[in-house]
């Protein structure tokens, strides 16, 4: 892949043709299925998302309509606050022609057991995709998404649903695939091609934040994905801030297979040393997240308060885990690409003491925002791959249709 | 009508042509009007909804676009919690090309007198349909819907509105027509045609629930509709749980006219005896609903609490009104079709003691969900009939246009 | 301009052609920009909005689709309650083919400094227009809208956004341009053309209301706009209820330039004397709004309560500032056009003692609602002018396309 030239009216449709041809060569079995966790899929699936996302982004830049649905619904379920993922999902749905609705669980009966199946079916009669964010409860977020998917699958097989809605993981307790893939798209653009990532060092490092209970899915998603392309992945965190085993084992295996490497260190500085990419980001210790899940389920508010205090006190021991200008000097030529899923805790801007110095953040703002801008297209690619039997052919049809997104002049 | 074959790609368009021909023969006066209460309409209106709904459902199964509006709004007003009716309405609007909005009365001035008229007009400049659920207050829900309809009618006649939005009753204190018609569509499919309902016995029975204040509109809607097709309608409830007079009188009249029968009994077992269809469902006593309406209007919270306690205590006397396996054995060959508007109170699943045994519910889950899946198309049919002067011609145009709902391959 | 004949199927497309020709002669520099405050724009901009709005309203009445976007988002941010402006914005977006979303700030991080820029960009990847209502805080509402516009402008120039979303002022602390322009469209229709407004007297008068803290933007918007067309503008309010200097100075200057006049008086009766148009409407004293802004920012609730009491007590001194039948008799032939942005505080209807007598309001209800019905088209015109480089050509294309908004028969 070459660098995407983000001119406003990029008419380089030859590049789109190449991407479609590449997509055709990596057939997936995602049709009539869902998109959950990147490291559980073969690498071809990842490439398919990358090709489809870039092709659609280029067609959009060229002013072409990507509408593939005349009518249909895209439903989102957010069990945590969100602005960018929420708007990315809505944008992706709108891009493809779906009307979005957000299921407000406070006014519905969706919960456990029987009713998940029932509600999942009841909202899906005209639904093509259900995007779910459920990242708060360790051991439960992915399970819930699987349950919704199994419910609509069964209703589809029973002939209750005329189509089988895809479940798209908008962040669970395990992975945050739309984020990690948007980040990967950004890195590919920045370094001029996926092959150029080979041999690059990426530091996925814990960073201090004055808040508590941030999910583990971003670091897990990053190590589970970036290890597949020959990169040297360095995961850094203070003792006790371990991640789940599954993504760590996946990263170790992928690194070996792809000719890269994987290490765990307990020093941000060591991780940043000669890094080409740094991703400093706070998360909660796994043990705290497990305890928290239990207490939340049991409604033990006093204990939750106490846990928060302990956790914040523990975090405070690692205030020097900050992506400062000094820390950045340790990276390759002092010029590593700084990444973050946003919003970052920026020292003296969004908080007194945070994950990153304001001057570092500001220097990379453009790259950060370009990266974020990939997300709607990554989600659109997942919808395309799960809802169309031959996505390359569908994209080719879009090109041939050559319909402008707005009334042309 | 034959049985709808719910295969995913039902291409039996001959059947659609027959439905359109049938629709053409039952002209209604619904154009530029609203859809309120089934028993106040001639039987032709009911048949028109059934034909249009089935035709659209078949076209959708065949992958055809049903988009009849290029732009326009469908607005919903929900004065009670809802998942399935809310999504059915949104799905129906989306299917026809309307963008949906939900009027949040907490941020608006819609209330009584002057302002109902004003707000109804202010939200309707580009609006084709207003769906309203207002089922909590006896004597007021239908009146409110009528008031909204009269307001937009007047504004249309004054040239203020460019089109006359239809009001669609998504449940009021009297009727729940989209539910009853979706149920009827399900029964027709199950028994293989509307003519096969003739002579069948349907038991619309009160059932115990641990909750309080459930609306009367479902049982009223069921007896007011099912009595029109030669069925033997048996309404069962404990002493004191009477329904409003109007639907009971309508059911009695329709039963006589259609060659069926209507009875009221005070025993679930008696009602279930030899029944072909059972519809066990809880509702509040009419006297309680009237008292509750008064207290709610007066904001008398202590009295409301007391009323709830009395009502729950009274319900508890009838815990044996449950649709158990034993009760089902009384029905014809022990195999009556079990119906419910969903969500049901299922014993040991959603509550300790409810309306239906889990094993009964599970056995009929597929039929229940298929029935629920009819609702978006029933609503779409009501919109078609109220917004198009010649709905049969419009459906014929849809067929001739032959546009796929998604980009074809 | 002639009177718009609001027949339901107005097929006078010659008039639309004339409007498009007129629009072509008043080129604006609004493309890829925002629409903020009328009095800061040359008169050509105002005429462009009027021409485009009327052309689109006529095309809509003729049943034509105005869809210029195949996909895309319109996002609204409401920092104050709203029904009619909210629905007008949604209707305008839908009319043009945009899906609307409302940014709920309680679940997002949009606030000050860094994060306004970030959130504005994050919601804008597929966004064509952002409508903002922020009218509560003197000195801050317009500044916030400018900040959002500057943020998306920068992201567009950086290649982060594929298109530059317009910010449309849905009411700020300075102006309420969509309201004032909808009112102006109404006056033009009522008096049979913009030239017929020349020499007419308009009384923009304070009126008593039992509520407190109503924004100043409506009277400011009215005097800043109506003074441009040769009208005699009379602004009336009790001592102490002054408006901001900028719109008052603008009105004075425009009145002189256009051959009209501008006066400030402290008597409703004096203002109403021989008026052709009256606009009686409550607002808060500027000093109170400034104090209130401070207290709200500081979270001083006790002081806020006290301020409210003082303000209500002060208002109560001017209860005779009501648009009664007696007051109306003072106007030209007792028949001035009564205007209001709605909802009005109507005596004995929405409150015991309000801005207007019920009989006066009722007599002008049709004109008030017709006026309100102009707002979606005024907003649509602003979107067209900011998002299309040659709006006259785009409207001409719409006419030539000749697509019906609903499936024709």
Considering only CA atoms, which of C62, C17, C19, C57 is closest in space to residue C405? C62
Q: At B129, give phi and psi (nearest 5°).
A: -150, 140
Q: Crossing angle for the helix pair C84-96 and C375-387, nearest 10 degrees?
A: 50
Q: What is the pLDDT of residue C299?
A: 85
CB A340 within 8 A of CB A279: yes
Per-residue model confidence as pLDDT tens for chain A (409 residues): 344 444 434 457 899 999 999 999 998 999 999 999 999 999 999 999 999 999 999 999 999 999 999 999 999 998 877 888 999 999 999 999 999 999 977 655 454 445 888 999 999 999 999 999 998 888 889 999 999 999 999 999 999 999 999 999 999 999 999 999 999 999 999 999 999 999 999 999 999 999 888 999 999 999 999 999 999 999 999 999 999 999 999 999 999 999 999 999 999 999 999 999 999 999 999 888 888 888 888 888 899 899 989 889 999 999 999 999 999 999 999 999 999 999 999 999 989 999 999 999 999 999 999 999 999 999 999 999 999 999 999 999 999 999 999 998 7
pLDDT recorded at residue B2: 41
Question: To which H or E segment does residue C50 belong?
Answer: helix C43-61
Residue contact C7–B159, C-beta within 8 A: yes
pLDDT tens sequence across B331-346: 999 999 999 999 999 9
Which residues contact residue A288 at a Cβ distance below 8 angstroms, ignoring those fewer than 6 apart?
Answer: A213, A307, A310, A311
Instruction: Confirm or reject contact between C100 and chain B (CB < 8 A).
Output: yes
Pairwise CB contact (< 8 Å): B82 & A125? no
Confidence of residue B11 (pLDDT cuts 50, 70, 90): low
pLDDT at C114: 56
> Taking the model in full, what pTM does it have?
0.96
The mean per-residue pLDDT over the stretch B91-95 comes to 98
Which chain B residues contact residue C376 at CB under 8 A? Answer: 125-126
Tell me whether 0.85 is exceeded by the ipTM. yes
pLDDT in the model for residue A368 = 97
Query: What is the structure's pLDDT at A111?
Result: 47
Chains that touch B (3 or more CB pairs under 8 A): A, C
What is the structure's pLDDT at A3?
40
Chain B contact for C91, CB < 8 A? yes
A35: helix, strand or coil: strand
Å between B250 CA and nearest CA of chain A: 31
Q: How many residues does chain B have?
A: 409
The DSSP line for A239-298 is TT----HHHHHHHHHHHHHHT-EEEEES-HHHHHTT-SEEEEE----HHHHHHHHHHHHH
A409 touches chain C (CB under 8 A): yes
Cβ-based contacts of A370 with chain C (< 8 Å): 159-160
B5 pLDDT tier (thresholds 50, 70, 90): very low
Distance separating alpha carbons of residues B380 and B386, to the nearest angstrom:
10
Binary contact (C65, B70; C-beta < 8 A): yes
The position carrying tokens 């959130």 is: C119
User: Which pLDDT does position C24 carry in this prediction?
Assistant: 97
What confidence tier does B108 reach under pLDDT thresholds 50, 70, 90?
low
* CB of C19 closer than 8 Å to CB of C129: no
Which of B109, B121, B397 lies at the smallest CB-CB distance from C407? B397
Residue B10 has pLDDT above 80, yes or no: no
pLDDT score of A297: 82
Q: For position A116, what pLDDT does the model report? A: 87
Interface residue B114 vs chain C (CB under 8 A): yes
CA-nearest residue to A398 within chain B is B407
- Per residue, the 3-state secondary structure of A113-165, as one string, reads CHHHHHHHHHCCCCEEEEEEEECCCCCCHHHHHHHHHHHHHHHHHCCCCCCCC
Task: Report the residue of A126, A157, A388 to disrupt the B interface, i.e. the one with the largest count of B CBs within 10 Å.
Answer: A126
Helix (H, G, I), strand (E, B) or coil at A38: helix
B159 close contact with C: CB closer than 8 A: yes
Q: Which residue has the tokens 């027709």?
A: B188
B71 interaction partners in chain C (CB closer than 8 Å) = 65-67, 94-97, 405
Task: Write the secondary structure of A347-381 as one string of H (helix), E (strand) and C (coil).
Answer: ECCCECCCCECHHHHHHCHHHHHHHHCCHHHHHHH
Q: How far is CA A200 from the centre of its chain?
A: 21
Give me Rg for the CA atoms of chain B: 21
CB-based contact, B17 to chain A, within 8 Å: no
- Contact criterion met (CB below 8 Å) for A24 and A394: no
Read off the pLDDT of each residue in B148-174 and give the average, rounded to a whole number. 97
What pLDDT, on a 0 to 100 scale, did the predictor assign at position B104? 79
A351, A407, A409: which to substitute to probe chain C, counting the most C Cβ within 10 Å?
A: A407
- What does the alpha-carbon distance between residue B165 and residue B74 come to, in Å, rounded to a whole number? 9
pLDDT tens digit at each of 409 positions of chain C: 344 444 434 457 899 999 999 999 998 999 999 999 999 999 999 999 999 999 999 999 999 999 999 999 999 998 877 888 999 999 999 999 999 999 977 655 454 445 888 999 999 999 999 999 998 888 889 999 999 999 999 999 999 999 999 999 999 999 999 999 999 999 999 999 999 999 999 999 999 999 888 999 999 999 999 999 999 999 999 999 999 999 999 999 999 999 999 999 999 999 999 999 999 999 999 888 888 888 888 888 899 899 989 889 999 999 999 999 999 999 999 999 999 999 999 999 989 999 999 999 999 999 999 999 999 999 999 999 999 999 999 999 999 999 999 998 7
**How far apart, in whole angstroms, are the C-alpha atoms of residue A311 and residue A297?**
19
Contact C101 A87 (CB under 8 A): yes
């Amino acid at each position: 892949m070459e660098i995407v030239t983000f001119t406003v009216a990029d008419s380089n449709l030859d590049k789109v043709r190449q991407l479609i041809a590449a997509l055709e060569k990596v057939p997936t079995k995602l049709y009539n299925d869902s998109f959950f966790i990147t490291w559980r899929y073969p690498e071809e699936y990842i490439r398919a998302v990358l090709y489809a996302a870039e092709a659609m982004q280029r067609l959009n830049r060229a002013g072409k309509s990507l509408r593939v649905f005349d009518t249909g619904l895209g439903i989102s379920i957010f069990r945590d606050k969100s602005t960018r993922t929420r708007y990315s999902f809505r944008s992706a749905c709108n891009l493809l022609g779906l009307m979005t609705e957000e299921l407000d669980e406070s006014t519905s009966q969706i919960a456990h057991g029987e009713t998940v199946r029932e509600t999942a079916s009841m909202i899906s009669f005209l639904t093509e995709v259900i995007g779910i964010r459920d990242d708060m409860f360790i051991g439960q977020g992915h399970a819930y998404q699987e349950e919704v998917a199994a419910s609509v699958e069964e209703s589809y097989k029973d002939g209750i649903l005329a189509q089988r809605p895809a479940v798209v993981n908008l962040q669970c307790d395990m992975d945050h695939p739309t984020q990690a893939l948007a980040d990967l798209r950004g890195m590919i653009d920045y370094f001029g091609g996926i092959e150029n990532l080979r041999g690059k060092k990426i530091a996925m490092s814990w960073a201090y934040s004055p808040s508590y209970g941030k999910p583990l899915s971003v670091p897990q998603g990053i190590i589970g994905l970036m290890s597949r392309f020959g990169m040297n992945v360095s995961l850094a965190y203070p003792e006790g801030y371990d991640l789940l085993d599954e993504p760590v084992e996946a990263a170790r295996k992928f690194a070996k297979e792809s000719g890269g490497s994987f290490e765990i260190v307990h020093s941000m500085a060591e991780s940043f040393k000669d890094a080409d990419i740094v991703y400093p980001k706070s998360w909660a210790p796994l043990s705290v997240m497990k305890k928290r899940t239990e207490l939340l389920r049991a409604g033990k508010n006093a204990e939750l308060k106490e846990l928060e205090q302990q956790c914040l006190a523990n975090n405070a021991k690692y205030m020097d885990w900050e992506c400062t200008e000094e820390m950045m000097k340790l990276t390759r030529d002092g010029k590593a690409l700084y990444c973050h899923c946003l919003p970052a805790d920026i020292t003296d801007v969004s908080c007194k003491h945070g994950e990153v110095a304001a001057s570092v953040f500001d220097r990379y703002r453009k790259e950060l925002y370009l990266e974020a801008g990939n997300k709607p297209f990554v989600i659109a690619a997942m919808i395309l791959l799960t809802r169309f039997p031959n996505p390359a052919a569908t994209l080719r049809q879009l090109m041939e249709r050559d319909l402008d997104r707005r009334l042309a002049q």
